[in-house]
A = this chain, B = another copy of it.
Amino acid sequence: MEKKVFDALFKRVDWEPFAQLMGLKLKKVDKGYSLVEMTTREEMKNILGSTHGGAIFSLIDEAFETASNSHGTIAVALNMNVTFIAPPSPGAVLQAEAKEINLTSRTATYLINVTEGGDRLIATCQALVYRKKEMLPFLEE
């Protein structure tokens, strides 16, 4: 069952329209865990010439979404608290790693860190989902 869910998540992120728009790549997924990668691009620049917060948040949210849906049932985001630490370098390859720090039948909590080059912290996020009873609709037979 677990492997089926993880395989379905990889396939689904490959299909996911917003993941394609932002260049979000799912690298690893496990129960309550996810690692997602994104390369910053010229198109992501904000008015000050840095990477837009919306692009960094998109990466965070993708890791959150895949980690929280890794149990096979639907999880929907309730709250996300993001602290921006440092702007990424131009053209940086960023990684967001989501770790589950709590899981109940109804809610779950995640800590998501975005790093550049494996150790330079760019942003950190604490995030909460509401867990539904329904299975993910894209699990295949």
Contact = CB atoms under 8 A, between A and B. Distances in A.
A83 B54 CA distance: 15
A85 B69 contact: no
Interface size of A as a range? 35 or more
Nearest to A20: B43
A126 interface: yes
Interface in A37-74: 42-48, 52-55, 57-59, 61-62, 64-66, 69, 74
A78 B59 CA distance: 18
Given A79-B78, A124-B101, A43 B21 contact: yes
Interface string A81-121: 11111000000000000000110001101010000000001
